[in-house]
Amino acid sequence: MFAAGDGSRAFGSRRRRRAAARSAVVGMALALLLGTLAPTVSPAVADAVTHVVPVGDKPGAIAVNAVTNKAYVASAEGVSVINGVTGAGTLYSGDIPVDVAVNSVTNKIYVSEIGGSVAVVDGVTGAVTSVPVGTGPGVVAVNETNNKIYVGVETGVTIIDGATNTTTSVALLRSAQDIVVNPVTGKVYVLSGGTIRVLDTSGTVIDEVIIGAGFVRALAVNEVTNKIYYTTLGRYGAYIYAWDDATDKITGRIESSRKVENLAVNTASNKVYVAADDDYEDGFVRIIDGASFTEITTIGTATPVNEIAVNPVSNKAHAPTSGGGTLVIDGQSDSSYAVYTGSEPVAAAVNTSTNKAYVVSYGTASVRIIDGTVEQPVKNDFNGDGYTDLLARETSGVLWLYSGDGSGGWLTRAQVGQGWNVMTALVAPGDFNGDGNPDVLARDGGGLLWLYPGNGSSGWLPRVQVGTGWAGMNAIESVGDFDGDTFVDVAAQTVSGVLWIYRGNGSGGWLPAIQVGTGWNTMSEMTGVGDFNSDGTPDIAARDSAGVLWLYPGDGSGGWLPQRVIGQGWNVMNSFIGPGDFDGDGRADILARNAAGELWLYAGSGGAAWPTPSRVGTGWGGMTAMV
């Protein structure tokens, strides 16, 4: 037995959220993150949300069997099954489930139930065996090597023999909040009452860790190196520890100025991902080199991180945050970007075989599937090279394509149209008709709205009329997928200042519009700026009469989060737009033109910081529209 009064000797465990994320592959640590403070390189492949699968009400936990390509989601209505990307009904609807885990070797699913049992479900036949485990069952962990299942209960841990379903009880002073298994050594680490109990293969408590004047918050194990990483919080501050289980010694300690919580390990790269937050609304992910136990970088998130899930095969980490966005971190470059995964994401799991991540949205009773093989569409990539471009119309009506080079500069411009001076508004909404290429919407003098479908190679397909009566709109702007249905939308402001979201249907048409604000005629200009704060949802930037630039963050479901100031003195600019990520750092940017015709890039940071300006062009004063 040992204790650590000042954190100099301690042994940790990962605090599992109520809905724990886990992979069916042995030794996969799970957890997820959002946004970067340090300079980054744009990811090679930006994973995209490809499917939204409804599940039971109040979902909480998820487990994935990578062998059968099935995911199991525990909810108040039972356990839902997702077959790859398709909902496959309900596996089991007995007593209210609390947690779910999978043994991919035996194809058995283990569901802890509020009434005091674990339902053992055969993944082939669906046959259910109820195993009493004690009062208050919660977290479930599986050791696929020895076919033992560990269940946290009020009195400690109940161990189920997977072959016979017989049980063994391990008494602890308090209930088990988290259980982490090392399948190589057979040891089990139980977080109980802020301390750690270490069990051997027989279930005997062989060690215990007591943090004097504090408690352990979370634990992760790297079974390849036999290292344990854990976070603590107490009288002497917050710390992240590395423990060598073979030598029974602490090998590293990092003090944190912020509270540290969940953590996860990439067993292939030996990187440790630690979720942290401060007294405000921001969250953070600290990336630590497991070998040297030194910090590599810190990634800022718009809201606190709820969970972390790591895919060691694809070398990516996924971190759902309380605001609804999930941060995807590329482990090779340590760059990151966010995707929207529904309100109140509470759990995540990865399928290492298919390179998909599953994020459970409690607020929408659904699972969003992030496909690591599908690239995020680039909103303004009109020539198909993967970089953000700009369209500009000169006074004569000639339309020019200014191709971006992916790093804040330009390639040779090309003429892509003429006669565009008959249009009174131009909008670049992204892929409006669902063919995979970015499009343009244009309003003519008669108030007709036209869709100019892009062909993906600097040209256009035949235009299509998609609306009438648009002459009464003072401003028409792109806002991305504002309502969270995966289709791009358009914002339009009436003369009286009412702001409407015209919801796209994903195939070049419209769903019913929704009113999202009034009084917007007090703003002298507005534009959609994409996901400017890196929370996974699109935002709008608007300038008031005093030149203050405001960010209105979308909440992902057609509403707003609190607005904040991101700039002053913007009344010197006569035009600004949000083209997307122009400089290739994975963050949405703003391009603005001043009266002298200079074009400035305001590079977004993905967090609360104001954008950083740099001049990227001159002679732009002759352009009458830029999108």
pLDDT in tens, 29-64: 333 333 333 333 343 346 899 999 999 999 999 999
pLDDT of residue 39: 34
Per-residue pLDDT band at 608 (split at 50, 70, 90) = low
pLDDT tens digits along 401-412:
999 999 999 999
Q: What is the pTM of this model?
A: 0.87
Q: Which domains does the chain have, with CATH numbers?
A: 94-210 (2.130.10.10), 214-374 (2.130.10.10), 389-626 (2.120.10)
Query: What local confidence, expressed as pLDDT, does residue 402 receive?
Result: 98
Q: Are strands 2-4 and 205-211 parallel, antiparallel or unpaired?
A: parallel
Tens-digit pLDDT profile for residues 536-570: 999 999 999 999 999 999 999 999 999 999 999 99
pLDDT at residue 471, as a whole number: 96
The pLDDT assigned to 21 comes to: 36
Q: CA distances (Å), 383 to each of 375, 408, 423, 594, in order? A: 16, 16, 22, 27
- How far CA 193 is from CA of 209, 221, 380, in Å, comes to 11, 19, 52
Residue 267 has pLDDT above 80, yes or no: yes
Residue 2 has pLDDT above 60, yes or no: no
The helix/strand/coil state of 174 is: coil
Q: What is the torsional sign of CA 54, 485, 343, 274?
A: positive
Residue linked to tokens 């030794």 = 27
The residue that leads in pLDDT, 94 or 457, is 457
Whether 435 shows a pLDDT value over 60: the answer reads yes
Q: Which residues of 140-172 are buried (b: 16+ CB within 10 A; e: fewer)?
A: bbbbbbebbbbbbbebbbbbbebeeeebeebeb
Indicate if the pLDDT at residue 460 is higher than 70.
Answer: yes
Instruction: Determine what percent of the chain is predicted with pLDDT higher than 70.
Output: 92
Share of the chain above pLDDT 90, in %: 81
Find the mean pLDDT for residues 126-142.
97
**Residue 518 CB neighbours (<10 A):** 11
Which carries the bigger pLDDT value, residue 610 or residue 523? 523
pLDDT in tens, 319-343: 999 989 999 999 999 989 899 999 9
Q: Which pLDDT score is estimated for 279?
A: 67
- pLDDT at residue 160, rounded to an integer: 98
Single-letter amino acid code for the residue at 625: A
- What are 148's strand-pairing partners? 143, 161
pLDDT-derived band at 523 (thresholds 50, 70, 90) equals: very high
- Asked if residue 312 has pLDDT above 70, the reply is yes
pLDDT above 90 (res 585): no
Q: Which letter, b or e, does each residue of 598-624 get, where b requires 16 or more Cβ atoms within 10 Å of its Cβ?
A: bbbbbbbbbbeeebeeeebbeebeebe
Instruction: Indicate if the pLDDT at residue 458 is higher than 80.
Output: yes
**Mean pLDDT across 423-440:** 96
How far is C-alpha 202 from the chain's CA centre?
Answer: 39
pLDDT tens, position by position, 270-296: 999 999 987 666 789 999 999 999 999
Q: How far apart are CA 21 and CA 454, in angstroms?
A: 40
For residue 610 the two structure tokens come to 């104001």
**Out of 31-45, 189-203, 339-353, 480-494, which region has the weakest mean confidence (pLDDT)?**
31-45
pLDDT at 443 over 50: yes
Res. 371: pLDDT tops 80: yes
Q: How confident is the model at residue 210 (pLDDT cuts 50, 70, 90)?
A: confident
Q: How far is CA 476 from CA 250, 409, 443, 470, 495, in A?
A: 59, 27, 9, 9, 12
What tens digit of pLDDT does each residue of 139-198 get? 999 999 999 999 999 999 999 999 999 999 999 989 999 999 999 999 999 999 998 899
